[in-house]
């Protein structure tokens, strides 16, 4: 695996990203961090990738909600999601950073790479080329939990207890997130320890102004 080729955004703002399996605890940590930063006088924008433009599409919902994917190509979905991230970067993320805001992103380009590799597309080169048009986060957090724990947490959600989940994929995704975190010098956090402990680790990294270097 290559390192992603993000560019330094060189703005007054701060870009913080969270990635990990659905059910790892991203939303809890994002909301806590936003509340903390606002209390410190920061202007915060919470956003999500990919945007609803992709999330509501037939191809995305097929891969997320159905076992039969024969009608679509995952590569086509990945390209669509990558394009959405570029659009979102140029029209939402960068303007917010340039205005001095702290942007917290629920998932980031790392997720695009993790999903592509977890589904077996190990030789696709375009993903690295597109990453050149994406700004490097100042802090990239990866929350790690065993796949079976993440799945069980999703099942506890009233609206998702019967949701289709490709369980084998979740195990591969976890491995990819860990590998990407190491390659891109992100911060790996345990999503199984107490909420306070996980959040304290996030604040420790942010207050130390640890920057991420994504080009290898």
pLDDT on residue 209: 61
Tens-digit pLDDT profile for residues 32-62? 999 999 999 999 999 999 999 999 999 999 9
Give this prediction's pTM: 0.93
pLDDT on residue 36: 97
* Residue 16 to residues 112, 161, 188, 199, Cα–Cα distance (Å): 17, 30, 14, 14
- Is residue 144 within 8 A of residue 18, CB to CB? The reply is no
Average pLDDT over residues 107-118: 97
Number of domains in the chain: 1
Here the tokens at position 143 are 């929350």
pLDDT on residue 163: 87
Q: Say what percent of the chain tops pLDDT 90.
A: 89
Q: Is the pLDDT of residue 211 over 90?
A: no
pLDDT on residue 196: 95
Q: Is the pLDDT of residue 95 over 90?
A: yes
Specify if 167 maps to a domain: yes
Domain with 58 in it: 14-207
Q: Please write down the HEC assignment for all residues of the chain.
A: CCCCCCECCCCCCEEEEEECCCCCCHHHHHHHHHHHHHHCCCCEEEEECCCHHHHCCHHHHHHHHCCCCCCCCHHHHHHHHHHHHHHHHHHHHHHHHHCCCEEEEECCHHHHHHHHHHCCCCCCCHHHHHHCCCECCCEEEEEECCHHHHHHHHHCCCCCCCCCCCHHHHHHHHHHHHHHHHHCCCEEEECCCCHHHHHHHHHHHHHCCCCCCCCC
Q: Which residue has the tokens 């939990």?
A: 145
Specify if 3 maps to a domain: no
Average pLDDT over residues 79-104: 97
- Is residue 3 within 8 A of residue 109, CB to CB? The reply is no
CATH number of the structural domain spanning residue 142: 3.40.50.300
Nearest to 216 by CA among 109, 138, 136, 159: 136
Specify if 213 maps to a domain: no
């Amino acid at each position: 695996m290559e390192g992603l080729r993000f560019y330094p955004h060189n703005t007054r703002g701060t870009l913080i990203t969270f990635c990990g399996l659905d059910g790892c605890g991203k939303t809890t940590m994002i909301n806590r961090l936003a509340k903390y930063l606002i209390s410190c006088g920061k202007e915060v924008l919470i956003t999500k990738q990919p945007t609803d433009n992709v999330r509501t599409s037939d191809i995305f919902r097929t891969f997320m909600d159905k076992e039969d994917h024969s009608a679509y190509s995952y590569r086509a979905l990945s390209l669509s999601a990558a394009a959405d991230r570029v659009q979102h970067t140029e029209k939402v993320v960068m303007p917010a950073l340039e205005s001095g805001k702290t942007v917290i992103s629920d998932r980031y380009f790392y997720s695009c790479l993790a999903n592509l590799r977890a589904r077996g597309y190990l030789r696709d080169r375009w993903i690295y080329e597109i990453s050149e048009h994406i700004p490097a986060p100042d802090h990239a957090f990866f929350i790690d939990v065993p796949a079976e724990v993440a799945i069980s947490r999703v099942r506890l959600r009233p609206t998702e207890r019967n949701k289709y989940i490709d369980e084998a994929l979740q195990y591969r995704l976890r491995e990819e997130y860990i590998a990407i975190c190491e390659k891109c010098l992100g911060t790996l956090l345990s999503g199984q320890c107490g909420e306070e402990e996980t959040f304290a680790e996030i604040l420790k990294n942010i207050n130390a102004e640890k920057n991420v270097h994504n080009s290898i």
